A and B are shown apart, each in its own frame.
Chain A
């Protein structure tokens, strides 16, 4: 009973992890960029959702109408204006530093604008829930999970069925060959980055529905997310999604015997295990269908 409840909670949490990890995976796949600021953008989107609800009094989900295109644009600018100018040899290292700085800037601005006070969206349906085979499913968690599933599905269709998706995958896998078939790889990479950041907008909104936010919260997220993309096989979106579900589930189940503090370490244990046993990741593999 408790186990089943934990499984349900774990899957709901894993869905959110999967969406967030998808963005990180895109950046790394496209550009070998380690995007430390991803979770800072996530929290930024959560704040914007909270602000929308608190100040404008409308449903936080509506904030996505603005944040998704905004973040997409910001992603394109960030990639074209900053990251694409880095030298390939030092790209990964430098991207860590630059995006670290961006994360600090976002955190600082959030603290300045909204103070360090913890915030939580107050929703009429915040505590509503229903029963599913004996487990309780909270409506807000289900909405967050639904958002994650829908966005991941959209991402999948985009990557698999559209001209842009094909171009993006080709750019990720072999940039020179992509240019030789006529793909404007620069623009494609910029859009790809924007897409990654757009997932942060959706993820942040989903996150804001059922959790407390504060400016430095992103440090709490980036570690597990990084662990997920490594375990999932760097650069593989389905791998990251699978890793996210498994680790989300593991975290939820391990809380039963170990408590919250220790259950969090499952991410790092998985990370070290991956690096030691199977550095190419447990889900992506050396060669697997990445989308």
Chain B
């Protein structure tokens, strides 16, 4: 059973033409699914629909087998879906501590909140080190980790990550990808959107290419990496390691 599944979703903003035109994707438990596509293809829109920030015009959003179409972010969160937005979305003028604890806003059990906080601090050492700093004063990579930590406070079943490596140096990017793997190993499914597609596909189990509002192609990440046509169109040139299969 998949943690989250979008079925034939149409979605868009205001009265404008739909951005997504019959898009489907599925994130099985314990996997990292990577969503790639050109700028403006609608990748962030997919994540907004999946997190409940944007209601689909048609189609279905299934979470753990339950139809959650039209549910808002609060309900989605209760079902175990957490989204880390594209760009910076820490509460800049609150401390790291306040940011992380706010991740557990919906947890009524104080003890559980403390336990989760200890857990994410361990997972992201930087978070513990900068616990009392203002989040906005942290570097971009550090802020991203705070956002991860915040989203993991509710112990979600699936985390939606929107371009987590954007604007980060190679070392920070590596850290982020390492952490994606650690999150999966800790039992959380991940739907990952990345510009750094080649790198992301190397980390992911499954891949999905989004173009013109639809799934262009999907399958095991390794297969997509090996596809020469995809390589040219979406992954930034040919794969360096493997020669093209003719």
Asked whether, in the complex, the Cβ of A181 is within 8 Å of the Cβ of B92, the reply is no
Contact indicator per residue, chain A 159-191, by CB within 8 Å of chain B (1) or not (0): 000010011011001101111111110000000
Q: Which residues of A contact B85 (CB under 8 A)?
A: 176-177, 180
| Contact pick for B134, options A163, A183, A289, CB 8 Å | A289
* Complex-state Cα separation, A182 to B53, whole angstroms: 11
| Contact pick for A173, options B77, B91, B101, B154, CB 8 Å | B91
* Nearest Cβ on chain A to B50's Cβ, whole angstroms: 12
Asked whether, in the complex, the Cβ of A287 is within 8 Å of the Cβ of B77, the reply is no
Asked whether, in the complex, the Cβ of B92 is within 8 Å of the Cβ of A182, the reply is no
Counted as pairs of residues, one from A and one from B, with CB atoms less than 8 Å apart, the total is: 74
Q: Which residues of A contact B53 (CB under 8 A)?
A: 176, 179-180
* Complex-state Cα separation, A173 to B89, whole angstroms: 9
* Complex-state Cα separation, A173 to B93, whole angstroms: 7
Asked whether, in the complex, the Cβ of B93 is within 8 Å of the Cβ of A169, the reply is yes
Q: Tell me, yes or no, whether B197 is within 8 Å of chain A by CB.
A: no
* Complex-state Cα separation, A169 to B134, whole angstroms: 13
Which bucket holds chain A's interface residue count? 20 to 34
Asked whether, in the complex, the Cβ of A287 is within 8 Å of the Cβ of B136, the reply is yes
Contact indicator per residue, chain B 90-124, by CB within 8 Å of chain A (1) or not (0): 11111000100111011000000000000000000
Contact indicator per residue, chain B 18-60, by CB within 8 Å of chain A (1) or not (0): 0000000000000000000000000000000001010000000
Q: Tell me, yes or no, whether A119 is within 8 Å of chain B by CB.
A: no
* Complex-state Cα separation, A174 to B82, whole angstroms: 16
* CB closest residue in chain A, given B88: A174
Q: Tell me, yes or no, whether A128 is within 8 Å of chain B by CB.
A: no
Q: Which residues of B contact A177 (CB under 8 A)?
A: 85, 89-91, 147
| Contact pick for A170, options B72, B91, B134, B154, CB 8 Å | B91
Q: Tell me, yes or no, whether A290 is within 8 Å of chain B by CB.
A: yes
* Complex-state Cα separation, A32 to B83, whole angstroms: 25
* Complex-state Cα separation, A163 to B104, whole angstroms: 11
Known: A166-B101, A170-B91, A179-B72. 7 other contacts (CB 8 A): A166-B94, A167-B102, A170-B102, A178-B91, A182-B78, A182-B105, A183-B105
A sample of 30 inter-chain contacts (CB < 8 A) reads A166-B102, A169-B93, A169-B94, A170-B94, A173-B93, A174-B89, A174-B91, A176-B85, A176-B89, A177-B85, A178-B102, A179-B74, A180-B53, A180-B73, A180-B82, A180-B89, A180-B151, A181-B102, A181-B103, A181-B105, A181-B106, A181-B150, A182-B73, A182-B78, A183-B74, A287-B92, A287-B137, A289-B93, A290-B93, A291-B93
Q: Which 6 A-B pairs have the closest CB atoms?
A: A182-B106, A177-B89, A173-B91, A179-B73, A182-B77, A181-B105
| Chain B residues in the interface with A (C-beta under 8 A) | 51, 53, 72-74, 77-78, 82-83, 85, 89-94, 98, 101-103, 105-106, 134, 136-137, 147, 150-151, 153-154
